[in-house]
Structure 1
Amino acid sequence: MDNEYKEKEINHDFNFLNYSDVQAHFADLNISLLRGRHIQTGESYIFTLVNNYVSDFTFYYRSLYGLELKREKTENVEYYYLDFSEEGKGKLNSSDRHREMTSWDSLIAFMLLNMYYDRLFDRTKTINRPAIENEILNSDLSLHYKKIFFNNSIRDNYSDPEWKTAMDNYKRALRTLDQLGWVKILPAEEGDGDILFIIRESINRFANIYQYEIRHFENFVEQIMQKKNKK
């Protein structure tokens, strides 16, 4: 993609913004990308739009925002997102336009990344509340999860109020991950509990941008516990 950009850069302008299909859907695409969303195959018109004008949008975001339009592929699914240039965080480097993920967001993304890999050969990675509870109680990392979700209380069973608090934190993080395009929240049906969503392929980017937390998960857990204890 970079070579394609360099070849056309000299003759580039913003005339593509006058095309009827761009005008029809540019606002949705632009808002989504600037909010950090990963737009992947299956997102109908906004994926088609960015995919049809890759070099144009690359020039647009590089010129106006100092951001790089990136394209990656996982399991034959492509997705686009905006990344900061090597020089810094572009023109979105301000507290009101750039927000880091919270510790809870990162924790849930880490858990979902593991669940994604566990379901690597499933056609869709659909998760409901029973699957989440099982991951917390029975996975290889259950001791760490219990420490965080249940305030250092490591037991085999927890009360309904304890689960409600844990799942409220989970759902808040899910909304952030849905905005990033890493999951797709679905209407829950009977048997799903009150949570149902699909883990999307683009969650693999979490493994790239949060390498330290993944490699030092125990330290990451301790940091979360320390922040919780200070509240």
Structure 2
Amino acid sequence: MDNQFKEHDVILNFSFLGHRDVQAHFADLNIALLSGRHIQTGEGYLFTLVNHYQDEFKIFYRSLYGLELKQAKVDNTNYYYLDFPEEGKGKLYTSDRFREMTSWEIIVALMLLNMYYERSFEQAKVINWEIIQKEIMESELAPLYKKAFFNNSIREFYTNSEWKVLFDKFKRVLRIFDRWGWIKLQTVEEGEFVFLIRESIDRFGKLYQYEISHFDIFIEQINQKK
């Protein structure tokens, strides 16, 4: 009897899917969340929908996917994302929807996280390829960035072809981060990109605390595997 009641209770909670605003935008929201997107303040109808029905969506994703809909707040900006429950990995863990970040993605994300906090007093954290190059060559972490991005080679000068290879790799990673909601790409063209670092990049800091705290060791481990 108790189990029947619980199942009925869940069905009642799913009745919100019949609401007009949910029907209009649920497909987009569901695809975005399941693909790993972080949906934050300012994303129009997606944020409005998940924010308004957050309690209902928490039950929905927990029941159907074994995932937790979570909310976080950074610099007065709220964002939502799906995560695995603490007691298990959820139903999508073994599917092709789940994967760990690659070493390249971790390094780029760490750089962007540092740049975000360095610009804490700037309302819009707008970054382009020239700023990335300067960060690699002149920042406090420049020796480690050079090791990571240029095959363990620390120099004062890199050729145009070396920068071109690095640019293409960055562009691919940035497209992934754009899908995840950590950045917003504004311009992508030959030899240039412009993007905005979004508040939800904070999630990376929570996921990879060890790599951030031991970045030098992490870089050495990567280079040893090459």
Same fold (TM over 0.5): yes
Question: Matches of 2:10 and 2:35 in 1, distance apart?
Answer: 29
Match for residue 222 of structure 1? 220
**Corresponding residue SS for 2:192:** coil
- 2:174 equivalent in structure 1: 174
1:48 and 1:78 mapped to 2: Cα distance?
A: 11
2:208 counterpart of 1:213: no
Separation in 1, partners of 2:98, 2:150: 31
Indicate conservation of the 8 Å contact 1:65/1:92, yes or no: yes
Q: What is the percentage of aligned positions where both structures have the same residue?
A: 60
Q: Distance in 2 between matches of 1:142 and 1:224?
A: 16
| d(CA) in 1 for partners of 2:176, 2:158 | 26
**Superposition pairs of residues 48-87 of structure 1, within 5 angstroms:** 48-87=48-87
In the alignment, the residues of structure 2 paired with residue 224 and residue 210 of structure 1 have an alpha-carbon distance, to the nearest angstrom, of 15
Structure 1 length-normalised TM: 0.90
Contact kept? 1:130, 1:193, Cα under 8 Å: no
Give the letter for the 1:120 counterpart. Answer: S
SS at match of 1:148: helix
User: Could you tell me which residue of structure 1 aligns to residue 5 of structure 2?
Assistant: none
1:100, CA displacement in angstroms? 1.2
Count of equivalent residues: 218
Where in structure 2 are the equivalents of 1:46-125 lying within 5 Å?
Answer: 46-125=46-125
Is the Cα–Cα contact under 8 Å of residues 10 and 59 in structure 2 kept in the other structure?
no
Partner of 1:130: 130
The answer to whether the 8 A contact 1:38-1:80 is kept is: yes
Q: Deviations over 1:164-199 (max 9, x none)?
A: 11111111111111111100111258xx95111000
Q: CA deviation at 1:10?
A: 7.4
Kept after mapping to 2: 8 A contact 1:12/1:59: no
Distance of 1:186 and 1:226 partners within structure 2: 36
Deviates more, 1:79-88 or 1:149-158: 149-158
CA distance in 2, matches of 1:138, 1:193: 20
**What SS does the aligned partner of 1:198 have?**
strand
* Contact preservation (8 Å) 1:33, 1:81: yes
Write the deviation string for residues 128-169 of structure 1: whole angstroms up to 9, x where unpaired: 011000000000010011111111221111110010111111
Instruction: Give 1:195's aligned amino acid.
Output: F
Structure 2: which amino acid aligns with 1:107?
I
**Counterpart pick for 2:201 among 195, 203, 209:** 203
TM value normalised by structure 2: 0.92
Deviations 1:13-34 (A, max 9, x none): 2111111110111011001101
Q: Gaps (5+ residues) in structure 1?
A: 1-8
> Deviation digits for residues 40-90 of structure 1, max 9, x if unmatched?
001101100001101110110011111111111111100000111011111
Equivalent in the alignment of 2:3: none
Runs of 4+ in 1 over 3 A off after TM superposition: 9-12
Partners of 1:134 and 1:120 in 2: how far apart?
A: 19
Any residues of structure 2 matched to 1:148-187 within 5 Å, and which?
148-187=148-187
* 1:225 partner letter: N
Q: Residue 159 of structure 1 aligns to which amino acid in structure 2?
A: T
Unaligned stretches of 5+ in structure 2? 1-8
Matches within 5 A, 1:23-62: 23-62=23-62
Structure 1 residue 12: deviation in Å? Answer: 4.5
Compute the displacement of 1:223 (Å). Answer: 2.2
What CA RMSD, in Å, does the superposition of the two structures yield over aligned residues?
1.6
Cα drift, residue 36 of structure 1: 0.9
How many Å separate the matches in 1 of 2:211 and 2:40? 25
